[in-house]
Amino acid sequence: MNEFEILCTLISGAAHDMDHPGHNNLFEVKNRSKLALLYNDTSVLESHHSASFFFMLDNSSLDCDIYSDMTTQERTEARKIIIENIMYTDMAKHG
């Protein structure tokens, strides 16, 4: 891994449970939660964590744009890596 990929992986680790509601995906789906509906019952929490993280970065009032010194290509690649890493935490996709 290069330094950029390591940075993205560290960021992914920090973001992977962003705004966690305290339930698992199965609970969300079985209870037809708004999150389950929004994400079509697929990797519900992982999708939510990822979206919440990127919404936070986009909130100018928080002044936390970690992308400010990145090129457009680096921003695109970082977003891709972070989303993939967060999605990999869906335990239903393992074993």
Mean pLDDT of 6-14: 95
- Between CA 12 and CA 53 the distance in angstroms is 9
Instruction: Please choose, from the candidates 56, 50, 57, the residue with its C-alpha nearest in 3D space to the C-alpha of residue 85.
Output: 50
- Between CA 32 and CA 16 the distance in angstroms is 22
The size of the chain, in residues, is 95
The three-class DSSP label of residue 51 is helix
The three-class DSSP label of residue 39 is coil
- Tell me the per-residue pLDDT of 48-84, one tens digit each, with 9 for 90 and over: 999 999 998 887 677 777 888 899 999 999 999 999 9
Token output for 20: 């966690």
- Tell me the per-residue pLDDT of 17-47, one tens digit each, with 9 for 90 and over: 999 999 999 999 999 999 999 999 999 999 9
The domain ranges of the chain are 3-93
Task: Please state the pTM of the whole predicted model.
Answer: 0.90
